Amino acid sequence: MAESVELPSRLGILPFRNKVLLPGAIIRIRCTSPSSVKLVEQELWQREEKGLIGILPVRDSAETMAVGPMLYPGAGADLGERSSKHQVGTSDSHKLDGKNQQEVIHWHTRGVAARALHLSRGVEKPSGRVTYIVVLEGLCRFSVQELSTRGTYYTARIAPLDMTKAEMELVEQDPEFMTLSRHFKTTAMELISVLEQKQKTGGRTKVLLETVPVHKLADIFVASFEISFEEQLSMLDSVDVKVRLSKATELVDRHLQSIRVAEKITQKVEGQLSKSQKEFLLRQQMRAIKEELGDNDDDEDDVAVLERKMQNAGMPPNIWKTAQRELRRLKKMQPQQPGYNSSRVYLELLADLPWQTASEESELDLKAAKERLDHDHYGLVKVKQRIIEYLAVRKLKPDARGPILCFVGPPGVGKTSLASSIAAALGRKFVRISLGGVKDEADIRGHRRTYIGSMPGRLIDGLKRVAVCNPVMLLDEIDKTGSDVRGDPASALLEVLDPEQNKTFNDHYLNVPYDLSKVIFVATANRMQPIPPPLLDRMEVIELPGYTPEEKLRIATRHLIPRVLDQHGLSSDFLHIPEAMVKLVIQSYTREAGVRNLERNLAALARAAAVRVAEQEHDMPLGKEVHQLASPLLESRVADGAEVEMEVIPLDVNNHEISNTFRVPSPFIVDEAMLEKVLGPPRYDDRETAERVATPGISVGLVWTAFGGDVQFVEATAMVGKGDLHLTGQLGDVIKESAQIALTWVRVRATELKLAAAEESNLLEGRDVHIHFPAGAVPKDGPSAGVTLVTALVSLFSQRRARADTAMTGEMTLRGLVLPVGGIKDKVLAAHRYGIKRVILPERNLKDLVEVPAAVLAGLEILPAKRMEDVLEHAFEGGCPWRQHSKL
C-alpha cells in the first residue's frame, strides 16, 4: 500500500484523456503514441531506481465544462520538437496556443503522481514500433505550477498537495473528521458485506479497513466504482480530507443503494419467472388430467373448433393465407398473453363473415313482387312503379350495376318498410345500418387492430349479423352523417356505393378486402340537401311526400290497425276502431307527414283494449273449451274463478289463438271518451290558427322541415323605441335578411298602404319593431318567409287582422316581387293538415301543384301571387281596401 512519498519538484506528465487516476488505484495501460512511449522510456524504463510520473487528466474540448481548474496548452499528447514554457498563473485556467489549433486540450491543474508496479516492453513486428504495457499505482496528489515540453512529452513543475504527517495527526484529532471517518467506515463496511455476500469472497477487504488510513481508503474505494469523469475530477480536487471523506461516503452509499435496487429487481424478475413457469407446469398437468378424464373443452379445443370454422368459411385463397398466419400466431400464444384475445376475436370474425354464403335468389316473379308491395303499402303508386322497374332490370340482368335507390321523405312515410319489401320480393335477407349521427369514418371503415377496443365498421358488422353476402342493406338516414376531425364518413360511403371500388372494400379492422358487390344497397334520408353531392350522384332519389289525411285513414284501416291488433294478440272481435275515431286521431292527436305517431296512438288504444279484455274475463261465464286454455299469464286468473283442470300450452303458441279462446260477447268499440281516456285531451284542433291569429300583427306561413311541411306563425309587435328591429326565434342569416327586406318594403310603401299619414312621416318614428317566430327552440332559416313577414308587419301597422284561414309562402325581393320557393307539395299538405282553407303561393310555383294529391287540392283554395300586393290582397278579409287608393 502506498506509503508517504517524497515527490521530486518536476515530473514527466502522462495525460489521461477524460479519465482520472486516484491515489491508491492501480491501472494497467498500454502506451503506443510516440510521446507516451518516450515518456515511459525516459522516466521509468531507463531509470535505475524506481521512477515516478505524473498523471494529469485532460478534457476533450467538446467536453469542456466548468468543473475544477483547468490548463489549456496548445498541443495534445502528440507534441512537436519544441520547448516552450507555460506559466500557470493565479487564475485557475489558461488557454495556451499550440501548434495544432484545432485540437485544444484542457489540462487539469491537479494530478496524481504514480509509480510503475510493472513494466513490459514490446516491439511490433514488421514496423519495429516500440510499445509499453505499464501497471501504474497512484500515489499522491500534486498541483501543477508550470507545464513545459521536454522533447516529445510534457513535464511539469509541481507541488505536493497531501498533508504532512504532523498535519494529518492534527486533523485526526478533529471531532468532525472523526465523525466523518466513522460514518465512512460504516458505509464502507456495509458495502463490503453486501459485496462479500454476493461474491462469497473472504474477509480480505475488511482487513484494509483496519490497516489503511481512512483518507486513503476514501480514494481507494471511490477508484473501484464506475463513476463519471466529473465525479472523478471532483474527488481528485478534494484535497481537504474532510471534504474527501464526505464525498467518498456519498459515493459509496450511492453505490450501495444501486446494488440493493439491482438486487431487488433481480429477485422480482426471478420470482415472476418462476411463477409463470409454475403456472405453465400446472397448466400442463391440468391438461394431462383433463385428457385422462376425456374432458376436452379447453382452449386448445376451442382453437381447433375455430380452425374448423375457418376452413368452412369459404374464404378466398389470399384471405385464407392471412387467416392461417394469424392462426399460427394464436396457437403459439398462451391464453393469458396480451393480444391472444384480440387475435382470437379477429379470427372469429373472419370465420363468421359470409365470404360465399348467399341467400338463394329465387326466380324473380314481378307479379308477386307487385302484390307484395301492394299488400304492405297503401298508395305510393309512383314509388312502387319505380321499384318494380328496378326489380325488372335486375331480373333481366342480375349483375347489372343498377343505381342505388334512395328514398327521401319525412319520418314515418314508409321508407324503411319499402326497403324491406324489396328484400322480401327478391327473397333476400334484410339488414339495416343506421347512419344517423355517424361522424367518425371508423364507424364505416372500422378501427385498425392496433387500437385498444378496435372493432370492424358497421357494414362488416351488419354482414356478420345477417350472415349472407348478398343481403339488401339499408343505409338508413344517410343525410345525417357529418364530418369532423375524425374523418369523413361520406367519403367512405362513396367507396361502398361505387361498384368499381366496392369489390375490394377495405375495412381497417378486417385488413383484408371484402367483396361488397353482391350487396344491394338502398338508402333513406329525410332531406336531400345535406347529402354530399358526390354521394347523391351515385343514387337515384325517390321522394316520398307526406300523406293526406284521407290516405292516412286508408293506411290506418287497411294496414296499421290489423297489424297493431295482431301485435297485441287481439283481433277485430275484440276491438273495433270506427273510421270516425281514426279520423279524430289523425286530426286531433297527430300532425305529422308520415304515420308513425298514428301507429303509436293506435297501439296505445290496442294496449288499453288488451287490458280490458283481460279484466273482463273475470265476469265471463267459462265455456267448456276454456279448461283447455292455458296461457301462463292467465292461469292464475282462471284458477281463481273456477275449479278446472289445467293444461299448460307451450309458450310458443300464438297469442292470437289464446285470445281467441275467450268468448267475447261483443268487441270494444272505441269512442271519443275512450280516446280521451287513453290518449289524453286532443292535442290539435282547427281552431288553433284562428285563436293564434286573433290579434293584428300575426300571419300564417308555410315552411319546410326535415319532418315534412309545417305551419309557421309570424308575430310582430311594436313598442316605444328608437326605430330598431328586434328578431327572435333562433333565426338564421337568410331569414334575418328577409325580415329587414320586409320592413324596408313596408316602410317605403307606408303612405301608399295608408299605414302612415303623410309622405314624409316615418313609420318607425319613436317605436321599435319586434318580430318573433314561435317554437323558439327550433332553429329556422330560409327565404320563404318573406311574404309572411310583410303580411305580419302590414297587419301590425294597419291594426287589421290577417285571415286565419289563409297561409302563405314565398320569397320577396326588395322591389316587392314574389319569387318561387321549394317544398311546395309538403307545404300544401301541411296547410291541409292544419285545416287551412286558402294558400297563397308564388305564381311560378303553381306548376308544382301537380304533385299534390287531387283530394287535397279539392279542399283548398290556391291563390297565386306575382307581387307582394297580390299577397296582401289575398291575406286580408275583403281584400286590401286601402290598395284602391294607392298607385300599386
Mark the binding-site residues for ATP, compressed into ranges. Answer: 409-416
Q: Let me know if 196 is exposed, middle or buried by CB neighbors in 10 A (0-12, 13-18, 19+).
A: middle
Rounded Cα–Cα distance for residues 430 and 423 (Å): 6
Print burial letters for 416-446: b (CB count within 10 Å at least 16), e (below 16): bebbbbbbbbbebbbbbbebeebbbbbbbbb
Pick from 380, 444, 459, 613 the residue near ligand ADP by CB under 6 A. Answer: 380
If one asks whether residue 595 binds ligand ADP (CB under 6 A), the answer comes out as yes
Which x/- pattern over 575-594 shows residues binding ligand ADP (rule: CB under 6 A)? -------------------x
If one asks whether residue 411 binds ligand ADP (CB under 6 A), the answer comes out as yes
Rounded Cα–Cα distance for residues 36 and 42 (Å): 10
Query: Under DSSP, is residue 626 helix (H, G, I), strand (E, B) or coil?
Result: helix
Query: With respect to ligand ADP, which residue has the nearer C-beta, 380 or 610?
Result: 380
If one asks whether residue 569 binds ligand ADP (CB under 6 A), the answer comes out as no
If one asks whether residue 555 binds ligand ADP (CB under 6 A), the answer comes out as yes
Query: With respect to ligand ADP, which residue has the nearer C-beta, 36 or 481?
Result: 481
Closest CA to 380 of 345, 343, 417: 417
The minimum distance between CB 611 and ligand ADP, in angstroms, equals 23
Contact between residue 30 and residue 191 where contact means Cβ atoms under 8 Å apart = no
Closest CA to 477 of 495, 458, 505: 458
Pick from 559, 747, 801, 833 the residue near ligand ADP by CB under 6 A. Answer: 559
Which x/- pattern over 521-540 shows residues binding ligand ADP (rule: CB under 6 A)? ---x----------------
The minimum distance between CB 558 and ligand ADP, in angstroms, equals 7
Query: With respect to ligand ADP, which residue has the nearer C-beta, 223 or 553?
Result: 553
The minimum distance between CB 545 and ligand ADP, in angstroms, equals 11
For residue 737, give every residue at least 6 positions away whose Cβ sits within 8 Å of its Cβ, in sequence order, or none.
none
Closest CA to 433 of 460, 462, 405, 398: 462
Q: How far does Cα 658 stand from its chain's mean position?
A: 50
Binding part of the chain for ligand ADP, among 108-116, 306-314, 375-383, 793-801 by CB under 6 A, reads 375-383
Q: What's phi and psi for 114, nearest 5 deg?
A: -135, 150
Binding part of the chain for ligand ADP, among 113-121, 217-225, 378-386, 792-800 by CB under 6 A, reads 378-386
- The alpha carbons of the chain give a radius of gyration, in whole angstroms, of 50
Q: How far does Cα 212 stand from its chain's mean position?
A: 69
Pick from 137, 231, 507, 599 the residue near ligand ADP by CB under 6 A. Answer: 599
C-alpha cell at 581: 275515431
C-alpha cell at 514: 371484402
Query: With respect to ligand ADP, which residue has the nearer C-beta, 547 or 834?
Result: 547
The minimum distance between CB 603 and ligand ADP, in angstroms, equals 10
What one-letter code names the amino acid at 120?
S
Pick from 277, 296, 385, 417 the residue near ligand ADP by CB under 6 A. Answer: 417
Query: With respect to ligand ADP, which residue has the nearer C-beta, 138 or 708?
Result: 708
Print burial letters for 246-269: b (CB count within 10 Å at least 16), e (below 16): bbbbebbbebbeeeeeeeeeeeee
Listed as own residue / partner, the contacts of 296-304 with beta carbons closer than 8 Å and 24 or more positions apart are: 299/335, 303/327, 303/330, 303/331, 303/344
Contact between residue 623 and residue 617 where contact means Cβ atoms under 8 Å apart = no
Rounded Cα–Cα distance for residues 17 and 40 (Å): 17
Contact between residue 51 and residue 116 where contact means Cβ atoms under 8 Å apart = yes
**What are the beta bridge partners of residue 159?**
143
Binding to ligand ADP in span 656-685, by CB under 6 A: none
In the bound state, the residue with its beta carbon closest to ligand ADP is 414
Query: With respect to ligand ADP, which residue has the nearer C-beta, 413 or 731?
Result: 413
Mark the binding-site residues, compressed into ranges. Answer: 409-416
The minimum distance between CB 634 and ligand ADP, in angstroms, equals 29
Listed as own residue / partner, the contacts of 720-725 with beta carbons closer than 8 Å and 24 or more positions apart are: 720/766, 720/767, 720/768, 721/766, 721/767, 721/768, 722/766, 722/768, 723/762, 723/764, 723/765, 723/766, 723/767, 723/768, 724/768, 724/769, 725/768, 725/769, 725/770, 725/771
Query: With respect to ligand ADP, which residue has the nearer C-beta, 594 or 782?
Result: 594
Rounded Cα–Cα distance for residues 424 and 144 (Å): 102
DSSP class of residue 356 equals: S
DSSP codes of every residue in 134-161: EEEEEEEEEEEEEEEEETTEEEEEEEE-
The minimum distance between CB 477 and ligand ADP, in angstroms, equals 9
For residue 53, give every residue at least 6 positions away whose Cβ sits within 8 Å of its Cβ, in sequence order, or none.
11, 12, 13, 14, 39, 40, 43, 44, 113, 114, 115, 116, 136
If one asks whether residue 387 binds ligand ADP (CB under 6 A), the answer comes out as no
If one asks whether residue 416 binds ligand ADP (CB under 6 A), the answer comes out as yes
The minimum distance between CB 601 and ligand ADP, in angstroms, equals 12
If one asks whether residue 556 binds ligand ADP (CB under 6 A), the answer comes out as no
Active site residue 827: yes
C-alpha cell at 105: 486540450
If one asks whether residue 415 binds ligand ADP (CB under 6 A), the answer comes out as yes
- Count of CB atoms situated within 10 Å of the CB of 216: 20
The minimum distance between CB 586 and ligand ADP, in angstroms, equals 13
Listed as own residue / partner, the contacts of 203-209 with beta carbons closer than 8 Å and 24 or more positions apart are: 209/185
- Count of CB atoms situated within 10 Å of the CB of 69: 18
Binding to ligand ADP in span 488-527, by CB under 6 A: 524
Query: With respect to ligand ADP, which residue has the nearer C-beta, 416 or 738?
Result: 416
If one asks whether residue 480 binds ligand ADP (CB under 6 A), the answer comes out as no
The minimum distance between CB 593 and ligand ADP, in angstroms, equals 9
Catalytic residue selected from 784, 795, 798, 825 = 784
Pick from 138, 412, 446, 457 the residue near ligand ADP by CB under 6 A. Answer: 412
Query: With respect to ligand ADP, which residue has the nearer C-beta, 596 or 883?
Result: 596
Binding part of the chain for ligand ADP, among 62-70, 222-230, 413-421, 834-842 by CB under 6 A, reads 413-421
Query: With respect to ligand ADP, which residue has the nearer C-beta, 347 or 380?
Result: 380
The minimum distance between CB 425 and ligand ADP, in angstroms, equals 15
If one asks whether residue 474 binds ligand ADP (CB under 6 A), the answer comes out as no
The minimum distance between CB 383 and ligand ADP, in angstroms, equals 9
Residue bearing cell 405453465:
280
Rounded Cα–Cα distance for residues 43 and 17 (Å): 20
Query: With respect to ligand ADP, which residue has the nearer C-beta, 420 or 506?
Result: 420
C-alpha cell at 121: 516492453
Binding part of the chain for ligand ADP, among 24-32, 101-109, 405-413, 490-498 by CB under 6 A, reads 405-413
Query: With respect to ligand ADP, which residue has the nearer C-beta, 59 or 377?
Result: 377
Q: What's phi and psi for 509, nearest 5 deg?
A: -70, -45
Binding residues with ligand ADP: total (CB under 6 A)? 18
Catalytic residue selected from 216, 480, 825, 827 = 827
The minimum distance between CB 572 and ligand ADP, in angstroms, equals 18
If one asks whether residue 354 binds ligand ADP (CB under 6 A), the answer comes out as no
If one asks whether residue 421 binds ligand ADP (CB under 6 A), the answer comes out as no
Print burial letters for 489-507: b (CB count within 10 Å at least 16), e (below 16): bbebbbbbbbeeebeebeb
If one asks whether residue 596 binds ligand ADP (CB under 6 A), the answer comes out as yes
Pick from 12, 54, 98, 414 the residue near ligand ADP by CB under 6 A. Answer: 414
Active-site residue list? 784, 827
Binding site for ligand ADP (CB under 6 A): 377-380, 411-417, 524, 555, 559, 594-596, 599
